[in-house]
Every structure is written in C-alpha cells, then in structure tokens.
C-alpha cells in the first residue's frame, strides 16, 4: 500500500507552485491527499509549517524553510529573496518566469486570511514546536529561515537537515526532497 503525502503550502503558494513536486511524489509512488490529519506524511513549506495540525496521524512531518529569523522583518527577507531570485533566474535565462512568479505573488498578497493565520501561529507554543518528531530542512541560502534554527531547543525530538538551495528550492528541484522523504520513510 502506498503512503499518502499532504503538502502544506506557504503564503501565496498552492498546487500550481508545487506541480513539479507533486509529479515527483507520484512518480515515486506516493498518493497526494489534502487532509493533514489523516496523511501518512506531511510536507510543509514556509508558512505551511505553521499550519501543521497539533494532532495528526502522520508518521513523518517534514518542514522546509520554517519562517523563523528573529530580528529580520518579513519585508526585508522578501526584498532579499526577490533580488537573489532575480540574479538566479537571469543566470538561468528564465526572467519571464521570475516576473510571472512575482506578479502573481503581489497580486494575491492581498489574501491575508492564510497569512494572518500563519503569523498568529508564530508563537513557540504552536504545532511547529510540538512534542511530535519533526524533520526540519533548512536550505543553505534561505532568507526566511535563520541558520540559528538548528540550535534552538524544541520540546520534541527534531532531525535537522541542511540542503543546498534557496527558500523555494523544493518547488524548483523537487527530486532531492522526494528522495529525502523516501529515505526517511524506509523504516516506517
């Protein structure tokens, strides 16, 4: 029986953002589901890490790019991200994709319901700091996730993994994240 994966997207993300990731999961034999409470595996990205339910049957919770950087305002992180991605996409000759991504981002940024819920969830007493075992993935050049997250004391057991890439690397290069999930679920 294949395992089910629920993807919890961050602010202004969704199925269109994760299309390549979903396809890679399906090729690997995972079923994609919407309910994080009943899923076998939860894969949360960015603000989606703050939406992990406090009670879930998931055997694996993987959180990529937890938005945690004390002293660095969200707008500063976003400005750095825009500039870094501009340079990266220009090098890759994908500026049209970069422009489309950020046009959509700012167009939908007015939808504050999910953003407000995520911001309220930043307290250390919420699910991202639960006693349930979680795998925290920080990409080396993530502007929203401080390297100091690897040194924080959490209530529950944590596995910390550092991978190459920027904040949204899981959407642009999904294979390494799917392989990570596969390696972490081999013993489940």
The domain spans of the chain are: 4-71+114-185
% residues pLDDT > 90 (the chain): 40
Over the stretch 2-44, which tens digit does the pLDDT of each residue have? 899 999 998 778 888 899 999 999 999 999 999 999 999 999 9
pTM here is 0.83
DSSP code at position 146: -
CATH architecture for residues 4-71+114-185? 3-Layer(aba) Sandwich (3.40)
Alpha carbon separation from 148 to 66, 135, 160, 186 (Å, rounded): 12, 15, 11, 29
Q: What are phi and psi of 53, to 5 degrees?
A: -65, 150
The reported pLDDT for the residue numbered 34 is 95
Give 113 or 53, the one with higher predicted confidence: 53
- Closest listed residue to residue 16, CA positions, set 84, 101, 88: 101
Q: Tell me phi and psi for residue 63, to 5 degrees.
A: -120, 120
Helix 19-27 vs helix 175-185: angle between axes, to the nearest 10 degrees? 40
Q: Is the pLDDT reported for residue 152 higher than 90?
A: no
């Amino acid at each position: 029986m294949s395992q089910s994966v629920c993807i919890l997207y961050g602010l202004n993300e969704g199925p269109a953002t994760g299309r390549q990731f979903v396809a890679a999961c399906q090729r690997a034999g995972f079923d994609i589901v919407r309910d994080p409470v009943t899923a076998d595996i939860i894969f949360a990205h960015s603000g989606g890490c703050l939406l992990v339910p406090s009670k879930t049957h998931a055997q694996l919770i993987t959180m990529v790019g937890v938005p945690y950087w004390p002293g660095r305002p969200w707008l500063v992180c976003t400005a750095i991200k825009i500039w870094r991605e501009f340079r990266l996409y220009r090098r890759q000759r994908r500026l049209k994709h970069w422009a489309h991504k950020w046009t959509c981002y700012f167009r939908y940024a007015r939808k504050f319901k999910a953003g407000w819920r995520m911001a309220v969830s930043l307290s250390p007493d919420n699910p991202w700091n639960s006693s349930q075992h979680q795998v925290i993935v920080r990409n080396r050049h993530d502007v929203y996730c401080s390297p100091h997250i690897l040194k924080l004391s959490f209530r529950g057991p944590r596995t910390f993994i550092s991978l190459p890439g920027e904040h949204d690397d899981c959407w642009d290069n999904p294979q390494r994240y799917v392989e990570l999930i596969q390696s972490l679920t081999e013993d489940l």
